[in-house]
């Protein structure tokens, strides 16, 4: 039997827990270090998931011989620098979306990764959700061609709260975080580069310092278009909803679930080994390490997304 892949997780908040629960479902994985901003949280999570080490600094995990790879679920503003630190320490790394909050930082990560021989992957989960996988396979097979994607990303976050309703120590961002999911997915599903991108935003929140509403338009080289609406002001159904308008049917994806245009459920339970997109994402990370290959959603593959986000940011400033 192969030796286990020994994982350190940095950022034991809402998404860190999702990854830890997912890793429990994967054979040949052990959790050896938990890093969190608060030592009490790190120790509590380490005890729950059987990790022998808990700490407050990423450098503690990177210095350990029992850490082969790191999953980063830390604040967005830390992603690029921490990913580079992991690579310099000789650790495989998966960083939660987004890779960075600027194109320069994203390109710096790519430069650090080149020639390292390590796996460097970004958590663009939509590539792995069974709903989107089902459509991707049909598109690749030639059964479907996207004409338009209409996407709504809606939250009610007028204060810094995470997915568990706990206070955040950092500010989330509609463009560099939430739009990244759709920008990358649109290019991935159409199989072609994005050749046009425009954005508008609403007023800047006086305390948070970010736009709370945003509208984005994209066009693929294939001619397909995408309209993305994002809001932190939406006091209603929350989450991201994808409407695929294709030449051969309409489909609505809600995370791991899929229905047709008339809300008839589509069985996607046999698309992959799990119905949990985070678990499938983590399985890809572990498999790429074991097989010594580039993973789906590698830094190289997702960098065009961040180039588009940079274009959108410039259009907002104009």
The tens digit of pLDDT for each residue in 40-53 reads: 999 999 999 999 99
Could you give the 3-state DSSP secondary structure of residue 22? helix
Every domain range in the chain assigned CATH 3.30.360.10: 126-274+306-317
CA 1 to chain CA centroid, Å, is 31
Burial 69-79 (b: 16+ CB within 10 A, else e): bbbbbbbbbbb
Class of domain 5-124+277-295: alpha beta
The pLDDT of residue 236: 84
Architecture of domain 126-274+306-317: 2-Layer Sandwich (3.30)
Name the average pLDDT for the chain: 94
The pLDDT of residue 137: 98
Return the number of other C-beta atoms located less than 10 Å from residue 103's C-beta.
17
Residue 33 half-sphere exposure toward CB, CA atoms < 13 A: 24
Name every residue whose Cβ is closer than 8 Å to that of residue 160 and which is 6 or more positions away in sequence. 167, 168, 169, 170, 171, 172, 208
- pLDDT surpassing 70 at residue 171: no
pLDDT tens for each residue of 6-30:
999 999 999 999 999 999 999 999 9
Crossing angle, helix 14-23 and helix 277-291, to 10 degrees? Answer: 60
Name every residue whose Cβ is closer than 8 Å to that of residue 84 and which is 6 or more positions away in sequence. 108, 109, 112
Every domain range in the chain assigned CATH 3.40.50.720: 5-124+277-295
Could you give the 3-state DSSP secondary structure of residue 29? strand
């Amino acid at each position: 039997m192969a030796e286990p892949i020994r994982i350190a997780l940095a950022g034991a908040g809402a998404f860190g827990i999702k990854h830890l629960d997912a890793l429990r479902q994967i054979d040949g994985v052990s959790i050896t270090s938990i890093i969190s901003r608060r030592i009490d949280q790190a120790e509590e999570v380490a005890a729950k998931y059987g990790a022998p080490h808990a700490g407050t600094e990423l450098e503690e995990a990177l210095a350990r011989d029992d850490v082969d790879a790191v999953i980063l679920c830390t604040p967005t503003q830390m992603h690029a620098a921490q990913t580079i630190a992991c690579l310099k320490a000789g650790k495989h790394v998966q960083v939660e979306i987004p890779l960075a909050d600027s194109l320069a930082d994203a390109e710096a990560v790519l430069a650090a990764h080149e020639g390292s021989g390590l796996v460097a992957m970004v958590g663009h989960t939509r590539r792995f959700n069974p709903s989107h996988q089902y459509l991707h396979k049909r598109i690749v097979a030639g059964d479907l061609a996207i004409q338009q994607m209409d996407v709504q990303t809606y939250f009610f976050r007028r204060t810094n709260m995470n997915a568990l309703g706990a206070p955040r120590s950092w500010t989330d961002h509609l463009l560099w975080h939430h739009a990244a999911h759709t920008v990358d997915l649109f290019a991935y599903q159409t199989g072609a580069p994005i050749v046009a991108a425009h954005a508008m935003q609403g007023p800047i929140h006086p305390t948070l310092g970010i736009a709370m509403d945003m509208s984005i338009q994209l066009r693929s080289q294939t001619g397909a278009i995408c309209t993305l609406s994002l809001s932190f002001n939406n006091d209603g159904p929350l989450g991201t909803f994808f409407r695929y308008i294709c030449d051969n049917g309409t489909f609505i994806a809600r995370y791991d679930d899929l229905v047709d245009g008339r809300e008839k459920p589509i069985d996607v339970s046999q698309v992959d080994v799990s119905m949990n997109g985070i678990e499938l994402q983590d399985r890809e990370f572990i498999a790429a390490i074991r097989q010594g290959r580039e993973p789906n959603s590698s830094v190289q593959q997702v960098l065009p997304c961040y180039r588009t986000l940079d274009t959108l940011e410039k259009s907002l400033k104009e």
